[in-house]
Chain A
């Protein structure tokens, strides 16, 4: 027999989970715009409801368009299953709510997207789930924060806003030593730049709104199960290893040795929390995933050129990008992110808030808005927008200065981006 060969990343980006439509021959994945699916007969209906047969019942639980996206992201990440949900926030919530409940504890990196921080710091405590936030670079702090009721360690593959590189191999070792999983927000890296499961993570999610979609037209989230964590051996997750009264006494770990988490997340989480993705959104995100490898290559190439320009500019105080040897995680990034460190980064302008505002207002190609990972380049000035209520001291605590600017580098011609930034920097200088 010839040596076996896995399909490559680009092939999976186009083909995993999809095939020509068996009824119409449509080559692209159709949008199955239907809430519900006809049963063949009463026995088929009962078997679908009782998980004796695979199939679709109601689009809150599963839909054929969504299933293609779910299986494709699982294939690209090297996992066992995906769940398409309404947003990245919904994916984080579903991931945590599947394995944690009242009395549970989470240890999380403190370098998180604001929305994730809000959920963990303010909202989940109302439901009895507490979080301890730690410096993601301080492994001892992660260890010290783990309690007997800790259910998961959580961090972003590239943290917010300083692009702290999550040391997944070390954190996975710590987590597994305590028989708990490591959960990563992989939005900024996508599976093209990093495959967290290969490094030791157990669960991950994406805000598919960002690079996976890439077009900035649809909000969505994807939760992915790595399938390696042994919930039974852990003994800490009765949700997955003991009969669940809410689903005919099902013991999810018995049903699936490797995908118990995904079974419960779908059978309970999508059913009861209901944060499902529209099939139209799944279709739109699939269009993005098909070109993910070539887009990420371009995102990274453009980012490197912009970073190089900014580092040399006299109005730049500092640039925070892990490919620079001035970044504290430079060595780790070389090891974990050899294809590049993504396309979102911050730099500090010389000057005050007024300089920041003048810079932003002078840009013509960059769009001033609160998102990242678009095909178009984006910019935001935290001190005058997301963090405008904070004084200089409070900003410092959040790792932000009055001159901090966050860029998300798109797919335009890099010379045009550099020219645009040069115009903005000239304006800032005059402020």
Chain B
């Protein structure tokens, strides 16, 4: 589905169903150097099970126009504007990595629009090593290799994503290679610079779930602990065997955890 947000064309995958804003909405926010397709199974399932779904391409990513947005706060404002443009009153925000910070910021500053948040592969602060941050600016192929290697916990994924026969590690690399030059540095710099996470976290009143990869080395579980403590009543689910690409490595487990949360949290 295409929307016009702040005068710019934005794209959202609606899970293979026509978008109906009257249904409860789940908006998926991808991480750095990704697009909507990282959520394909979870978003498609929910779209066929009573939800309306917006798996977003953030500005400058995938099919959405415009330059990549340079700060987590500005992306959060953009997400708020997308929801309004789509006619969605309130949505559950599901964010991965950089997208999880966006969900935190959006829930704190636009609380009327946010019903719940789900933070997948999250950490705060989301500091990026100098080596990686420099590489995102100076040598994108090297940076993409680093991120791809660090994002996966295993050389085998069952039943793979989006299905058997797909090589998750290769897909993730190609997806990063598909983004426009320069986007990667903007994204990683935004993660690195975001400094109001704890301040925002204490303002959050909506139900919050962390979905963390047991073997994540990009955003290790312990790196989400401060944020989890700061968000009142937050719950944490650890996905066994998953690395940072949690929903690529363990799509079913992420979906089932998400379903359980959506079904039990008000």
Q: Which A residues lie at the B interface, using CB under 8 A?
A: 1, 4-7, 12, 15-19, 22, 46-47, 50-56, 62-64, 66-68, 70-71, 74-75, 78-84, 227-228, 230, 232, 248-250, 254-259, 262-263, 266
Contact = CB atoms under 8 A, between A and B. Distances in A.
Which of A6, A7, A47, A54 gathers the greatest number of chain B CB atoms within 10 Å? Answer: A54
A92 B36 CA distance: 31
B155 interface: yes
A6 B45 contact: no
Given A15-B156, A54-B252, A248-B16, A80 B167 contact: yes
The 6 closest A-B pairs by CB, nearest first: A74-B167, A70-B165, A52-B45, A67-B164, A4-B149, A227-B174
Interface of B: 13, 16, 35-37, 40-41, 44-45, 48, 62-63, 129, 131-132, 145-146, 149-150, 154-167, 169-171, 174-175, 177-178, 217, 251-252, 255
A17 B156 contact: yes
A255 B40 contact: yes
Nearest to B55: A254
B178 A258 contact: yes
Contacts of B174: 80, 227-228, 258
Given A5-B149, A18-B156, A227-B174, A258 B37 contact: yes
A332 B178 CA distance: 29
A81 B16 contact: no
A366 to B, nearest CB: 37
B166 A80 contact: yes
A53 B155 contact: no
Residue with the highest number of chain A CB atoms closer than 10 Å, among B45, B146, B165 = B165
Nearest to A79: B170
Nearest to A12: B155
Most buried by A among B132, B157, B158: B158
Tell me if A's interface is mostly helix, strand, loop or mixed: loop
B40 A81 contact: no
Given A256-B40, A258-B178, A263 B162 contact: yes
A257 B150 contact: no
Contact of A82 (B155, B161, B165, B175): B165
A5 B145 CA distance: 8
11 contacts: A1-B150, A1-B217, A54-B159, A62-B163, A62-B164, A71-B167, A75-B167, A80-B174, A81-B167, A256-B171, A257-B35
Contact of A53 (B131, B171, B217, B251): B251
Contacts of B177: 228
Given A15-B155, A70-B165, A257-B35, 10 more contacts: A16-B167, A18-B156, A19-B158, A22-B158, A54-B159, A54-B162, A56-B164, A254-B37, A255-B162, A257-B36
Contacts of A64: 158-159, 164
B16 A257 contact: no
Given A53-B255, A54-B252, A67 B178 contact: no
Contacts of B157: 71
Contact of B154 (A19, A51, A227): A19
A326 B163 CA distance: 48
Contact of B165 (A18, A52, A71): A71
Contacts of A70: 164-165
B91 to A, nearest CB: 20
B188 to A, nearest CB: 14
A121 B62 CA distance: 39
Contacts of B149: 4-6
Contacts of B131: 1
Nearest to B170: A80
Nearest to A260: B37
Q: In this complex, which of A64, A249, A257, A266 has the most chain B Cβ atoms within 10 angstroms of its Cβ?
A: A257
A75 B160 contact: no
Contacts of B158: 19, 22, 64, 67
A54 B164 contact: yes
A256 B255 CA distance: 18
A52 B161 CA distance: 11
Contact of A50 (B40, B48, B171): B48
Nearest to A248: B16
